[in-house]
Structure 1
């Protein structure tokens, strides 16, 4: 973990990200495609924090790495769904940018902890 964030601070950051993502998904259009993308976005976005929480409770280094890698993979998947929402003009690009920027930072922090 970088010196900028303790584990507790990073967990709070992930929690805040997840809450904002839920609010964002609730504001997507109600058409079929938006709803399906929203479901995928919800799944991948909430899996970032859930796998991180599992990683913090890991009892072996292997489990720690596996859950951290899973969290990183879900962060990358979440970026895909956000890009699709943005590029299909289903959301304001400025709102999506915040999420993509935040996921880039989250991904960097997660990647630093994998050994």
Structure 2
């Protein structure tokens, strides 16, 4: 059995930091055999993205499902402006948490991690 790939330093952009921490905590635990993911920080607003990304220098950034596609693009552009084009980004579909709940968010992230992290 091979060791997990990573570590990947993750920053989330979520207006509910505690929820982000809980959900990412579940994902990290569920995929720890395949990936080592460190949830380094969370930006609770678009205005916080630059400073949080500068502070933590992540190689992965997730935008939560409360953002519109346009806002998610803006967040990603800000983050890539700080750490460069190598940043891996993942945007949850708008409304996923509201419409399907936290389990759907965790499952969606886990389904998409292999293509994101290679």
Decide which structure has greater strand share. 2
Q: Could you tell me the TM-score, scaled by structure 2's length?
A: 0.29
Q: Could you tell me the TM-score, scaled by structure 1's length?
A: 0.29
Larger radius of gyration: 1
Decide which structure has greater helix share. 1
